[in-house]
Structure 1
Amino acid sequence: MNEKSIRDKSRQQGVSLVLFDMDDVLVHYDRSVRVNRLARLSNRTPDEVVHAIWGSGLEAQADAGSIDDMAYLRQTSALLGCTVSLYDWLEARRESMTPNVEVLAFAAEISRRCRIAVLTNNPRLVETHIAGLCPPIAELFGAHVYASASFNAAKPCAEVYLKCVGALGVAPAQTLFIDDLAVNVEGARNAGLLGHQFTGHRLLADELREHRLLDE
């Protein structure tokens, strides 16, 4: 089913769920802040940290749920040549995130009309510790913050979207997915969801009004 057909069906049935990405949608994410904290901890350069964690594929494995949280922390420590505790990891992640107040306000308004949830490419640690990492997200979304690792797949794989909406008991065609990355939005559309690429809160507001989820 193409995007137009999905939109037509959605207009008939209504959007029952708005599914938000987290980084660079609900929060402004600055990976360099996270990298710099780990660099100071390990006495390595930021480039060495990026190569060790992202260049090695470790972060992608954690996002896809291929390794559990403790193995992820152990491998992070081994790659950086120092002990990276749970506290160290969470602090680095927390400092890299700043709430996007405009989008969070949209989500709060939407929640009065339909269900809302979060699907983020991240290790389970983010899902488990979201209350400490970003209290506004935890307060607004409650238990419905899902890390891709919990579904043993990562965006843009169709499996992760389908498992997420399935866990929420919502049909893909009645779900609007919002992400800053075009590849992830395309993945959602391929799985039968509606998709919107986030480039700013004004265009997002237009999209939400089209689905009667925000007032004019």
Structure 2
Amino acid sequence: MVADITLVLFDLDNVLYHYDRRRRVEHLSGITGIPADDIYAAIWDSGLEFQGDRGVLAPQDYLQAFGDRIGYPVSLTEWLEARRAAVAPNEPMLALVERLRASKDIAVLTNNPELLTEHIDVVCPRLRPLFGDRIYASASFRTAKPEIACFQRCLAALAVEPPAVLFIDDLPENVAGARAAGLHAHHFTSVDALRRDLASRGIDV
């Protein structure tokens, strides 16, 4: 029996947009003069980015902490420039989404601080025309994927029940978390594999 999917929920990084964290770090290094490895250690190895994803810090406090950790007062413009330098649209996926939204509701749930979704038109300008305001950062829910609460709070904001949702993510642990929360889920590896999975669920794109 084909499930009655009414909403497809997408991860962002390495699903809708390609994301290269190293390129982001190297861009920040170019701005600040600080070695890339030092920036990586100060932000990602320290756990600050995980705190940002979970909404432990308000957006301005997160940006302040970001600069404090690397020893350079990173401005919002610089942070956004580095984030945008690290991404590129996944054109075949965006084309699939364009077709899909004719028959299904769609939304985005990404593990990221609210700075990203507040300025999504700067970093990922192709998303707003497709998803409107249904672009959510995990930080807005004070949790992060793969925690069940992250999915529950996002679906509450979307006013949809888990069995009616198909979640798509490139990380197996997030797919497992979605399934534990009662959603259908697809581990994203390619557009062709996703298209086949959608067809098996009675969703043609």
- Could you tell me the TM-score, scaled by structure 2's length? 0.97
User: Which 10-residue stretch deviates more, 33-42 or 142-151?
Assistant: 33-42
Give 1:100's aligned residue.
Answer: 90
Give the SS at the match of 2:127: helix
User: Which 10-residue stretch deviates more, 36-45 or 14-23?
Assistant: 36-45
Which string of whole-angstrom CA distances, capped at 9 and with x for unpartnered residues, describes residues 122-155 of structure 1? 0001111111111111111110000000011000
Letter in 2 for 1:61: Q
Letter in 2 for 1:18: V
- RMSD of equivalent CA atoms: 1.0
After TM superposition, the structure 1 = structure 2 runs for residues 56-75 of structure 1, keeping only pairs within 5 Å, are: 56-75=46-65
Which string of whole-angstrom CA distances, capped at 9 and with x for unpartnered residues, describes residues 97-120 of structure 1? 100011111111111111000000
Letter in 2 for 1:151: F
> C-alpha separation between the residues in 1 aligned to 2:138 and 2:71?
27
Equivalent of 1:142, from 124, 132, 155? 132
Give 1:35's aligned residue.
Answer: 25
Which string of whole-angstrom CA distances, capped at 9 and with x for unpartnered residues, describes residues 10-49 of structure 1? x25x101100000000001011111011112222211111
Number of equivalenced pairs: 205
Equivalent of 2:69, from 74, 79, 82? 79
Give 1:165's aligned residue.
Answer: 155
Structure 1 moving runs of 4+ over 6 Å: none
Equivalent of 1:152, from 142, 146, 150? 142
Letter in 2 for 1:169: A
Aligned-residue identity in percent? 44
Give 2:180's aligned residue.
Answer: 190
Equivalent of 1:176, from 153, 159, 166? 166
Equivalent of 1:204, from 189, 194, 200? 194
- The answer for unaligned runs of 5 or more in structure 1 is 1-7
- The answer for unaligned runs of 5 or more in structure 2 is none
| Deviation of the 1:79 alpha carbon | 1.1
Asked if 2 retains the 8 angstrom alpha-carbon contact of 1:38 and 1:92, the reply is: yes
> C-alpha separation between the residues in 2 aligned to 1:39 and 1:98?
20
Letter in 1 for 2:140: S
> C-alpha separation between the residues in 1 aligned to 2:123 and 2:33?
24
> C-alpha separation between the residues in 2 aligned to 1:125 and 1:81?
20
> C-alpha separation between the residues in 2 aligned to 1:71 and 1:132?
20
Give 1:90's aligned residue.
Answer: 80
